[in-house]
Structure 1
Amino acid sequence: MLQTGDVKKLDAPSSRLQSYIRSPKKQQQLYKRTLIVVVLSQIFGGAGLAAGITVGALIAQDMLGTDSVTGIPTALFTLGSAGAALLVGRLSQRFGRRSGLAGGFLTGGIGAIGVVISALTNSIGLLFASLLIYGAGTATNLQARYAGTDLANSTQRAKAISMAMVSTTFGAVASPNLVDVMGEFAISIGVPALAGPFILAAVAYILAGLVLFIFLRPDPLVVANAILEVQNTTDNTPSELSSHSLSTNKKGIFAGSAVMVLTQFVMIAIMTMTPIHMGHHGHGLNEVGLVISFHVAAMYLPSLVTGFLVDKIGRTTMAIASGITLLASGLLAAMGPADSMGVLITALVLLGLGWNFGLISGTAIIVDATSSSTRAKTQGSVDVLVALSGALGGGVSGMVVAHSSYAALSIIGAILSLVLIPAIIWATHNK
């Protein structure tokens, strides 16, 4: 049953909401329309996301003049995304996906504006504060993948997740390749060149929030909760079965969380230091943008195929594939020649692909393990752990490279990726 305060709209369902409760056909129509709205918002959200990945570390390096703190921007906006994930999840559970996701994207846009102002004023304090707020966009970009699953059946969930993610590709791949263009635009209006991508991020995040706020009606989570409310009033399932289901859910939540936390840590750590590593070996901003574009494309573009595989051959198999792919990425990044664009692109493509396998399989496991009455809050809490692991990876990465090397960081990532395999086998074996 729904807890007090969860999605208040259920206290007195409107006639429009009742029509969805009674009609499976209308539910599927809303499921499809929700996917379209999420896809459109994610195109803008992806453009906003890529700005921090591409130039965040470079802005810190330029302002502070040292490599040891270049992991801090990624750590900050990832840490900010942790707090935002919790808030977006709880807002979504109480008021619906529309309010939670729109609020998260608009907040991320405000943070991007703050980064631009900090570059204008050369204020480190404002930069760090703005990056924390900017992280709300990152959290929302990830949580939007859940919106399409609210009305999906068990054979549609990974597909729904993958459609939300693959749409992110369009904006996320284009954005790094606009580094020079946005830099020139920034200079033309009196803003430092490296802040240019954050101008694009501000516009993109605000547009993503407006799309969701205007078009995500009726809210899919509100409808899903209404359906659950009706089902629960006529559910005569014995309490023993409910107890068993809760136990299984806890194990599923642990398994899904472990997959996403480990893949996020490894991906963020290696990705954060790649632009710095490239700069040390004579690569320019265009080449950095190209490598990051390939990386981001590998993070999101294979999603439709990944979603199909997760639904067809299983969550566990694809989670193990994630660990193996990340292992290969770390070894190649560590051992390949630093001046080879081909090696760098391949390593970062494998890094993105391994993350993609892990995020979609882990997300599907979490959705399978929850009901709509608690799903958004649980998803928000899990995404907090994912964001914190990314923040830790981003923060530690700069210190590791400063005191050792990029190769050492990549080897550490490769070794950590192996932990994923026994963790997922243990969790699924003990169900």
Structure 2
Amino acid sequence: MNSRLESEQVRRIQRRTVRVLVVGQALGAVGITIGIATASLLARDISGSEGQAGLAQTSQVLGAAFASYLLARLMAARGRRLGQVTGLLIGASGAMLAVVAGVLDSMGLLLVGAALLGATTAANSGARYAATDLAPDATRAKALGTVVWATTVGAVLGPNLTGPAAALSRRLDIPELTGPFALGALSMLLAAAFLGVFLRPDPLLTARELAPEQPRVPAGRSWQRAWQVVRATPALAAAIGALASAHAVMVAVMIMTPLHMEHGGAALDLVGFVISVHVLGMYAFSPLAGIAADRAGRPAVLLAGAVVLLLALLLCGRAPEGHSAGITVGLFLLGLGWSLVTVAASTMIAELTPLDARTDVQGAADMAMGLMAAAAGALAGVVVGAWGYPALNVFAAFLTAGVVGAGLVARRVASPPAAPPAAPIGAPLDPSATRGRGKS
């Protein structure tokens, strides 16, 4: 491709990229979220222990953390498309392994399958960065938020398919709680095929071709390059901290909510409904979060997200067992707070990272996010088993303090915008020149 493409051609490529990512996200999200409402219940049934109920989701989050790093390395060498397709195919194999685990009543196989399923989570998360590779500065957060929003279609549909999936499992003579994973595998395969065919030209490779100076050949290990960039850019470090903290809060509370509801006699379809409302909050309003981040500034949206998370924890912590308005609204706000923080923080990560280290930093950020969430998810089961669901929300409130601190740091280190001339799309970014973006 000619490195001097006209700006209109670049805009057309960007629009096409976002449209393709939207469809891919919708399909992939069904594969991930259809099992959210049943994973903890399946783990509980196989292990015979409520203390181990959160291990399946924790394993998935942990798998997503390591997959984020490995897929980022693959994308650095071969582009976004191959990384996306690879993650979806690995995730589909993990979903099918979860079905086998249910049939054989094997906790070990379930945890391995859940870890592999995390690769699809990593691929879906990485798609938000793909939307920013060719995006102009003024609409970068909106482009990222639009791709995050696309998950709404599949994510809201997924948990509500638990009923039909249970009927399918009875027809196939497999355990009822494994049906969602079987449907999820099919959805992930469809997403992989779609992105493999239509995500062309590759946005990251195109951005490299359009750079006025070709990115230097990276030296050292991926994590070393990422650490060098993060260490030199305080606002970037703050964004990664906020991203990881908010994700840990969301995962810890979300994975234990189905058990809290079941203890009060809530039926599986009601559990699926509440989880779908939660996922709606996570994704449906992300374009608005992006617009707010573009206009009001990234740090301001980070802090707003922290306030929403704290309100969500208050409602969830006070909600009785079973189904209630408090748990439904609380889970919705938990997702909305996560969305505000994730869109703002991810945009900061995308714009503060130079092109030659872009996937290294993004992969490291998502890995940190996943590892912190995996630790929080593992502790969630212990906390609920020992002290109950309300105590879990108190624990999560302390994690939310990390989001508040990161937002304040980002706000403090941001300098007033100096209105520099716009860099060409795809050009390597100078972190010191972009720290002012996001000033509220």
Instruction: Map residues 3-402 of structure 1 onto 2, 5 A cutoff.
Output: 17-18=1-2, 21-228=4-211, 230=213, 250-402=233-385
Query: Aligned partners of 1:374, 1:387: CA distance in 2, in Å?
Result: 20
Q: CA deviation at 1:210?
A: 1.3
**Matched-pair contact (CA < 8 Å) for 2:238–2:407:** yes
Query: Aligned partners of 2:144, 2:182: CA distance in 1, in Å?
Result: 28
Query: Aligned partners of 2:83, 2:184: CA distance in 1, in Å?
Result: 19
Q: CA deviation at 1:155?
A: 1.1
Give 3-state SS (helix, strand or coil) of 1:374's partner: helix
**Matched-pair contact (CA < 8 Å) for 1:327–1:418:** no
Deviations 1:20-54 (A, max 9, x none): 54322111110000001100100111101103321
TM-score (normalizing by structure 1): 0.90
> Aligned AA for 1:381?
A
**Matched-pair contact (CA < 8 Å) for 2:215–2:356:** no
Cα 1:193/1:21, change in 2 over 3 Å: farther
Query: Tell me, which stretches of 5 or more residues in structure 1 are unaligned?
Result: 1-16, 234-244
Give 3-state SS (helix, strand or coil) of 1:282's partner: coil
**Matched-pair contact (CA < 8 Å) for 2:72–2:362:** yes
> Aligned AA for 1:335?
R
Deviations 1:368-416 (A, max 9, x none): 1112222112101110000111111111100100011100001111232
Cα 1:121/1:148, change in 2 over 3 Å: same
> Aligned AA for 1:43?
A
Query: Aligned partners of 2:374, 2:27: CA distance in 1, in Å?
Result: 23
> Aligned AA for 1:341?
S
> Aligned AA for 1:290?
F
Query: Aligned partners of 2:11, 2:119: CA distance in 1, in Å?
Result: 30
Query: Aligned partners of 1:416, 1:350: CA distance in 2, in Å?
Result: 16
Give the corresponding residue for 2:423: none
Deviations 1:76-134 (A, max 9, x none): 00000011000111111110001111111111011101111111121222111111111
Q: CA deviation at 1:422?
A: 2.5
Query: Aligned partners of 2:108, 2:405: CA distance in 1, in Å?
Result: 42
Give 3-state SS (helix, strand or coil) of 1:74's partner: helix
Q: CA deviation at 1:340?
A: 4.8
Give the corresponding residue for 1:240: none
**Matched-pair contact (CA < 8 Å) for 1:178–1:197:** yes
Query: Aligned partners of 2:245, 2:261: CA distance in 1, in Å?
Result: 25
> Aligned AA for 1:270?
V
Query: Aligned partners of 2:101, 2:215: CA distance in 1, in Å?
Result: 52
**Matched-pair contact (CA < 8 Å) for 1:258–1:424:** no
Q: CA deviation at 1:246?
A: 6.1
Cα 1:186/1:247, change in 2 over 3 Å: closer
Q: Which deviates more from structure 2 when the two are superposed, residues 213-222 or residues 421-430?
A: 421-430
Query: Aligned partners of 1:247, 1:90: CA distance in 2, in Å?
Result: 17
Query: Aligned partners of 1:150, 1:408: CA distance in 2, in Å?
Result: 41
Cα 1:340/1:188, change in 2 over 3 Å: closer
Query: Aligned partners of 2:101, 2:304: CA distance in 1, in Å?
Result: 41
Query: Aligned partners of 2:116, 2:270: CA distance in 1, in Å?
Result: 29
**Matched-pair contact (CA < 8 Å) for 1:52–1:74:** no
Query: Aligned partners of 2:119, 2:128: CA distance in 1, in Å?
Result: 15
> Aligned AA for 1:176?
P
Query: Tell me, which stretches of 5 or more residues in structure 2 are unaligned?
Result: 217-227, 415-440
Query: Aligned partners of 1:340, 1:277: CA distance in 2, in Å?
Result: 9
Cα 1:404/1:247, change in 2 over 3 Å: closer
Q: Which deviates more from structure 2 when the two are superposed, residues 171-180 or residues 334-343?
A: 334-343
Give 3-state SS (helix, strand or coil) of 1:152's partner: coil
Query: Aligned partners of 2:395, 2:413: CA distance in 1, in Å?
Result: 28
Query: Aligned partners of 2:272, 2:250: CA distance in 1, in Å?
Result: 17
Identity of aligned residues (%): 34
Query: Aligned partners of 2:336, 2:296: CA distance in 1, in Å?
Result: 17
> Aligned AA for 2:320?
P
Answer yes or no: is 1:428 the counterpart of 2:435. Answer: no
Give 3-state SS (helix, strand or coil) of 2:252's partner: helix
Cα 1:410/1:105, change in 2 over 3 Å: same
Query: Aligned partners of 2:325, 2:48: CA distance in 1, in Å?
Result: 29
Query: Aligned partners of 1:348, 1:117: CA distance in 2, in Å?
Result: 31
**Matched-pair contact (CA < 8 Å) for 1:259–1:362:** yes
> Aligned AA for 1:283?
A
